[in-house]
Amino acid sequence: MAKRTFSSVNEYCGLEEALNAVMLEEDDASIDLVTLPPEPSVLTDEEEGDEDNIQSNTVPRDIPGRIEVFMNRDEEEWDSSDDETLAETKRRRTNAQAPCWRKTEPTYDPFVSISNDDNVQERQNKLMDELKNQNPLQIFEKIFDDEVFTMILQYTQTYATQKNNHDFKVTIGELKTFFGILLLTGYHTLPRERLYWSLDEDCNIPVVSKSMSRNRFQEIKKYLHLCDNLIAVESMDKMYKVRPLADILMTKFLQWGVFHQDLSIDESMVKYFGRHPAKQFIRGKPVRFGYKNWMVTSSDGYCYAFDFYCGKSPGANPTEPLGTRVVKQLLDKLSTNPRDHVVYFDNFFTSFDLLRDLRQVGFRATGTVREGRTKKCPLVAVKEMKKKNRADFDYRFDKVNQILFVRWLDNSVCTMGSNYDNVLPLGKVKRWSAVEKKKVDVGIPHLFQNYNKGMGGVDQADQSISLYRTAIRGKKWWWVLFTYMLDLAVANAWRLHNLTNDTKLDQLQFRRYIARHYLRQTESEILRPTASIVPSLQHDGRGHFPQKLSQQLRCVICHNKARWQCKKCVKTLCIERGCFEKFHST
């Protein structure tokens, strides 16, 4: 028989109240105090904050919350035989898969170690055949297509009806213009939303004011919705407001399959300072406050799947670490042949058990690993390794589970695990030598070289999103997630364009192409004759009417003098010689 410890939990509104309650407890009680974040109004659509100050970056100085007090006491005696039986069963199960570490060259079964690159290349060839020579708008609308716009339109009108505005109607064309304004704010940023419609000479943007009025933009923004509240609330999903859009975008990202061999898994932060139970605070990160987003991308930054972190899942296995669950859930979303790909992740995710489990299903994987997750691998201790020369390394291979751990001394000691890679052949990297006063070649294990090439895709995706992030802010908690997914779709479409087209564009050119098309598709006023035309507008067959000029200009086709121009394309064209028809049909 033994004594068992029981815990009681009490909740208080403030620190003073909690301390007063603690002072009244017995001396033999073990007491822990935990601060909780405030309970936000997650299920409301009421807006909060100042939308005009869209460049504000103020970090709150205090996070209000409640206090939980845990009191642990030793209670009556209990029979521990059941727990001893469970512990013995767990011990036997663990010993059955105990690793057998040897300092020997790795030997893997061909089931995992032999790659199958033909399937990946076949998918990439199919993608290039489908998207070859398509313009940026056509590629973007492969992801943000009419199905996505129709879904947003239906949910928006449903929400307006629920808010008792039965007269509100919106079309897909208006939604595209609305999205065009959002995309424009990513590279043409003004400090306040209303200034985009200002007539003052220092901030006037005619293309915005001519495409949509300010009141109409704000009305669409007010009722814009990505789900049906009456249905979504019942799911108890903290991200129910954006879940339909997230699911359909992942379907669009994966419509050509996974056409990269190397995959990278990491976290991404979406900056947010409001109140929501899924908001995270991570000390020491560039983005400390916001939503955490798990992503699986290619090595060059194309996002295949993502998942917003909402805290502990009710049905999660309590013995399985969070990093292991995240990797398995993201790879399940891909629905691909594991043998086609190599997965890379950092030390937050990597463990001996994860590498073993991925090997059993066929995924090749490599990742940096923390010292306590090596399953007692007898590598040279970190303190001893620091005393050795740069580029020294030590390794051990588990013959039972076929897992390799390598510890290498660079600027600091780094440990890496793999279920398919090797130590040899050693590569060469440049490092500064304090003795020779110059950069010299030092050896690097083979799996470290592959890791450096394959890891970092999520960081590249983050960089692409941050370059021209949508500047229009909203007052609802899900607005930052909505604009984040919009920017992510643009970044993915840009990578598809550069992969499948001979003419490369930088991301600014790509984004401007889409924004200008959406903003000028409904424009009725004549622009300056020197304005350039978006190529996709030339052949859309809508709104191309001849407009007489006050003076003669050169036709862009035959170069003869003419007095006519296309009202939409703003190009001088002859009507008598058929140049007007030829320009819009070829």
Q: What is the pLDDT of residues 230-247, one digit of tens each?
A: 887 667 788 999 999 999
Q: What pLDDT does 108 receive?
A: 87
Provide mean pLDDT across the span 162-171. 93
Q: Which amino acid is at 400?
A: V
User: pLDDT category, 521, cuts 50, 70, 90?
Assistant: confident
> In this model, does residue 481 exceed pLDDT 80?
yes
CA distance 165 to 158: 10
394 in Cβ contact with 379 (< 8 Å): yes
pLDDT higher at 538 or 166: 166
Provide mean pLDDT across the span 392-410. 92
Provide mean pLDDT across the span 100-111. 85
Helix, strand, coil percent content, the chain, rounded in steps of 5: 40, 20, 40
> In this model, does residue 88 exceed pLDDT 60?
no
- What are the residue ranges spanned by the domains of the chain? 2-96, 530-585
User: pLDDT category, 15, cuts 50, 70, 90?
Assistant: low
User: pLDDT category, 41, cuts 50, 70, 90?
Assistant: very low
Report the number of secondary-structure helices (H) and strands (E) in the chain.
19, 17
What angle is formed at CA 244 by the lines to CA 239 and CA 248, rounded to 5 degrees?
130
> In this model, does residue 53 exceed pLDDT 60?
no
Q: What pLDDT does 253 receive?
A: 95
Q: What pLDDT does 45 receive?
A: 55
Q: What pLDDT does 60 receive?
A: 44
User: pLDDT category, 249, cuts 50, 70, 90?
Assistant: very high
CA distances from 139 to 168, 175, 355 (A): 31, 18, 37
Q: What pLDDT does 237 receive?
A: 83
In a 13 Å sphere around the CA of 202, the CA atoms on its Cβ side amount to 2
Return the structure tokens found at 127.
Answer: 């993608």
> In this model, does residue 91 exceed pLDDT 90?
no
> In this model, does residue 502 exceed pLDDT 90?
no
Q: Angle of helix 507-520 relative to helix 479-500, nearest 10 degrees?
A: 110
CA distance 17 to 19: 6
CA distance 392 to 404: 17
pTM of the entire structure? 0.76
Query: Which long-range contacts does 75-81 make (Cβ < 8 Å, 24+ apart)?
Result: 75/3, 75/4, 75/5, 75/6, 76/3, 76/4, 77/1, 77/2, 77/3, 77/4, 78/1, 78/2, 78/3, 78/4, 79/1, 80/1, 80/2
The separation between CA 483 and the C-alpha centre of its own chain, rounded to angstroms, equals 12
pLDDT digits (tens, 9 = 90+) for 315-346: 777 788 899 999 999 999 998 888 889 999 99
Q: Right CATH number for 530-585 from 3.30.1330, 3.30.60, 2.30.30, 2.60.40?
A: 3.30.60
> In this model, does residue 269 exceed pLDDT 90?
yes
pLDDT higher at 581 or 149: 149
Four-residue CA torsion sign, 192, 197, 199, 202: positive
pLDDT digits (tens, 9 = 90+) for 285-296: 888 999 999 999
Which range, 2-16, 104-118, 235-249, has the best average confidence (pLDDT)?
235-249
556 in Cβ contact with 577 (< 8 Å): no
CA distances from 111 to 119, 264, 331, 366 (A): 16, 22, 19, 17
pLDDT higher at 151 or 577: 151
CA distance 37 to 227: 26
User: pLDDT category, 73, cuts 50, 70, 90?
Assistant: low
pLDDT higher at 388 or 37: 388
User: pLDDT category, 188, cuts 50, 70, 90?
Assistant: very high
Q: What pLDDT does 100 receive?
A: 87
- The average confidence (pLDDT) of the chain is 83
Return the structure tokens found at 524.
Answer: 């009725």
Going by C-alpha positions, the residue among 375, 377, 372, 342 that lies closest to residue 358 is 342
384: left (phi over 0), alpha (psi -120 to 50) or beta: alpha
Q: What pLDDT does 63 receive?
A: 43
